[in-house]
A and B are shown apart, each in its own frame.
Chain A
Amino acid sequence: MSRAITPQAKAINTGLAWSVALLIAFPILWTVLTSFKPEPQAVASPPIFLGFDWTIQNYIDVQDQRAYFRYFVNSVVISIGSTLLGLIIAIPAAWSMAFVPGARTKDLLMWMLSTKMMPAVGVLVPIYLIFIRLGLLDTRIGLTVVLMLINLPIIIWMLYTYFKEIPADILEAARMDGAGLREEILYVLTPMAVPGIASTVLLNIILAWNESFWTINLTTVNAAPLTAFIAGFSSPQGLFYAKLSAASTMAIAPILIMGWFSQKQLVRGLTFGAVK
């Protein structure tokens, strides 16, 4: 589909697109800017855009007062761990639903998705009690398992849609060409599914990284990830906007950087494979 676009129309479109993008990204930009301001200038009225005294003191203070790095490691372990654990369960599940569907496969998929519609607080108390009994409260392993379970329906759905895209004909062609199950998976299935698996992994790391209900409610110190780090910062230090901004920037920076470098995969992931 191609339409003639006049240079003026193009300029207007570009301008509009940039304005919308800036508007949406503004809170984040503002947070980042504020994080480099001295505390008094951070709350100055009228607000100062760029002409303030740039400083990294806030970052040093944040690291001194609360060990950022420990939260960061927890976030990494929990988000990557829960995603990998999820894959181990979701890959066989999605394979079987995509390639050997049963009479109830569709219902099963809908039911799994429906669990995502339920408010999480509804199961907070039972899960909290189970965690106390099992001694999982404030442990990385406990949180990893919970986040895996929370995101499992999405992982399975995404993988299922990717696997569905692989035409059964091609797998049959491989069988006709003399491939056994091992060769079929190794040389044909996996290479064709890798982009789908990669975007699933990326999206789920982000979802797990940003998850703040369970991470805040089920941790105190040892297993607390960056979400708990910001939350903990906002209450006692609530009025120190610059430090709070520095803490927030440090919490979102890793995931923003990762997202930036994997944009292409992510877009594919977010559209559930609809865009090729």
Chain B
Amino acid sequence: MGQITLKAVRKSFGEVHVIPGVDLEIADGEFVVFVGPSGCGKSTLLRLIAGLEDTSAGQIMIDGKDATALPPARRGLAMVFQSYALYPHMTVRKNIAFPLKMAGLSEAEQAKKVDAAAAVLNLTAYLDRRPGQLSGGQRQRVAIGRAIVREPSAFLFDEPLSNLDAALRVTMRQEISELHQTLKTTMIYVTHDQVEAMTMADKIVVLNAGRIEQVGSPLDLYRAPDNLFVAGFIGSPKMNFIEGAEAARHKAHTIGIRPEHIGVGSGNWEGTVLLSEHLGSDSFIKVDVDGIGIINVRAGGELGIHHGNRIRLAPDADKIHRFDQAGKAIR
């Protein structure tokens, strides 16, 4: 079980209202990702759920029971920290066994569970080492091992991969996704990495200044962002926003079009290429469109377009997002 409900949860540090009020429903077994710009309160929200910070107001329910006042140790959740937070004076074996020891399991039971977790995470050869003698990826695995052994009702991850290099990040991302498929336990995962959010999540929660901007599946957020913030935040490269006459033509204050939804070669828009980046599989082109402004376009690979060329662009009419004065989507 791992069903978590936040009801009007608020958090202030002194005068600073970091979380002005959040309502959120997380179903059992769901993989939920919190995304948002730096300082928007992702970690704070996670730590409120963990019990590492006290809520200023509101209620946190875990599996239907009020956990608002419970200490972290009694919430039955496990957390993987960005810094790994391994116990430096203990061996890998002792690190992984620590939650079991706290739960009062016998030495034999501890050993059995530690060995099983180590086998799953490829750590068997390192059980007698100290954290200081491990690589970043191995430390990350130990941290995950320590989280999974005691079978928590939910896992909390705070940017667990941000200290790893790009290649390892991809591998670990897949390992965590596979782990979720095997364990089917609720996972709440904080990141500011687009790709992690889009690939791992069942449900993405987009946060901005401590408020939830939108909750939905990755494709929902991509296809139908509720507002300008979500539209600009989800998707890479970023959505183009156009105001003025062109927007008025679509009966909106602002219109948005993703770089990948603009055709190159023909069309109504004409402009000068300011920059073209050829990645092989893709080309990113920055165009100064007459009467509209700077537009980023993502086109196919091996395109013969260069700085200074005049080109025509055709935005896909079906993929234009319309927003009103307040930035809300017009549907």
Contact = CB atoms under 8 A, between A and B. Distances in A.
B103 interface: yes
A192 to B, nearest CB: 6
Interface of A: 167, 169-170, 172-180, 183, 187-188, 191-192
Interface in B109-160: 146, 150
Given A183-B102, A192-B88, A192-B89, A175 B71 contact: yes
B50 interface: yes
Nearest to A195: B89
A175 B81 contact: no
Interface string B45-58: 00000111000000
Given A175-B71, A176-B77, A169 B89 contact: no
Contacts, number: 58
A169 B131 CA distance: 15
A174 B78 CA distance: 10
Interface in B67-96: 71-73, 77-79, 81, 83, 85-89
Closest 8 CB pairs of A and B: A178-B102, A173-B85, A169-B85, A177-B99, A175-B72, A176-B79, A178-B73, A191-B89
Interface in B141-196: 146, 150
Contacts of A187: 98
A170 B85 contact: yes
Given A169-B83, A170-B88, A176-B73, 15 more contacts: A167-B85, A169-B81, A169-B85, A170-B85, A170-B87, A172-B52, A175-B52, A176-B50, A176-B79, A177-B98, A177-B146, A178-B103, A178-B150, A179-B98, A183-B102
Interface of B: 50-52, 71-73, 77-79, 81, 83, 85-89, 98-99, 102-103, 146, 150
Given A172-B52, A192-B88, A180 B83 contact: no
23 contacts: A169-B81, A170-B85, A170-B86, A170-B87, A173-B85, A175-B51, A175-B71, A175-B73, A176-B52, A176-B72, A176-B73, A177-B78, A177-B99, A177-B102, A177-B146, A178-B73, A178-B102, A178-B103, A179-B98, A179-B102, A180-B73, A187-B98, A191-B89
A196 to B, nearest CB: 13
Most buried by B among A172, A176, A191, A192: A176
A115 to B, nearest CB: 31
B33 to A, nearest CB: 20
Contacts of A191: 89
Contacts of B89: 191-192
Contacts of A173: 79, 81, 85-87, 146
Given A178-B73, A179-B73, A180-B73, A172 B98 contact: no
A217 B170 CA distance: 70
A170 to B, nearest CB: 5
B94 to A, nearest CB: 9
Nearest to A172: B52
Most buried by B among A169, A172, A177, A183: A177
B71 to A, nearest CB: 7
B73 A167 contact: no
Contacts of B88: 170, 192
A188 B73 contact: no
A176 B99 CA distance: 8
A94 B24 CA distance: 40
A183 B104 CA distance: 12
A191 B102 CA distance: 16
A47 to B, nearest CB: 52
